Amino acid sequence: ASARSRIRTDDSATDRSRPRHFREEGTYMTTFEDLLFSESLGPFQERQLQPVVRSLFDGGMGLVPTDTQHAYVTAVTNKKGTRRIYDIKGVAPDERKPLSLLCSDFNMASRFADLGSLPRSWYAMLRKMLPGPYTIIVQATKEVPRVVLEHKSRRSQWRRREVGIRIPDCAIVTHLAEELGDPLLSSSACEGPHDVWGSNRDDLDFVVAGSDMASMWDDLADEDRISTIIDLTMEEPVLRREGMGDPSFLFGDE
């Protein structure tokens, strides 16, 4: 059965499966409760995301689901939105790390990451791993805006022009990036969407709450609900952080 056909359509279920959305104090929130994060979006669900797309085009910053934790996002060229992400997370200027790019697919990722220079075997493995819960550190192309790189804490890192690329297995992220035509600049949120809505909605322009992924994460500690980070800028792949993604694609079973 197709992803769309798995969504229940009986009257009692439709109200629960459709997104709930409302505004309070200038912040838009929409909730996709019964949609698995990898399922395709239907026309109704895409309409519920139109205010989010407009907000991103207008320089907005908010919270969206991914295939790991929810993440604060803004348009890749939005310098003010980038600062707002650091501010809402309480990151001091001298402790700021680069934000990742959430891409819709390999074509988008290739515009901002020099994937063509990778060894063929590495690239073949990436095609098997992605979409998925991985952050891949690669050399940045000239299309990466300076705002993505200028917050790096070390000058040597700035000169190397590295960028973290994600292609999440999440239809909501895919749709938003496709509508923008560019990646979303992102940083993971430590809190869930409803907690963020309760405590930080004045600092956001939108909150998109994905399906309840807690049931899929029952066997994972909070600190493990993160992407696996793999550095492909060295002579050999380097595992920088192990998270939800299986690193054996590139490292074998060692």
Q: What angle, 0 to 180 degrees and rounded to 10, lies between the N-to-C axes of helices 50-57 and 171-180?
A: 50
- Which structural domain range is residue 226 located in? 4-251
Structure tokens at 172: 């909501």
Give residue 94's pLDDT: 73
pLDDT higher than 50, residue 8: no
**Cβ neighbour number for residue 100 with a 10 Å cutoff:** 26
pLDDT higher than 50, residue 22: no
Mean pLDDT across the chain, nearest whole number? Answer: 80
- φ and ψ at 145, to 5 degrees? -65, 150
Q: For residue 128, what are the CA distances in angstroms to 31, 117, 123, 179, 249?
A: 30, 18, 9, 25, 8
Give residue 212's pLDDT: 46
Give residue 20's pLDDT: 44
Q: 100-102 and 61-64: which strand pairing?
A: unpaired
- Using 50, 70 and 90 to split pLDDT, how confident is the model at 33? low
Higher-pLDDT residue of 95 and 44 is: 44
Give residue 92's pLDDT: 75
Spatial separation of the C-alpha atoms in residues 14 and 20, rounded to whole Å? 11
CATH code (residue 74): 3.90.870.10
Q: Give the tens place of pLDDT for each residue, 165-214.
A: 999 999 999 999 999 999 999 999 977 787 887 778 788 999 998 764 44
Spatial separation of the C-alpha atoms in residues 34 and 225, rounded to whole Å? 20
pTM over 0.85: no
Structure tokens at 204: 């956001």
Higher-pLDDT residue of 108 and 94 is: 108
Spatial separation of the C-alpha atoms in residues 251 and 220, rounded to whole Å? 22
Vertex 54 angle, CA 44 and 2, to 5°: 30
**Beta-bridge partners for 162:** 139
Q: Give the tens place of pLDDT for each residue, 81-96.
A: 999 999 998 887 777 7
Domain total of the chain: 1
Q: Lowest-pLDDT range, 97-106, 146-155, 173-182, 188-197? A: 146-155
Give residue 184's pLDDT: 98
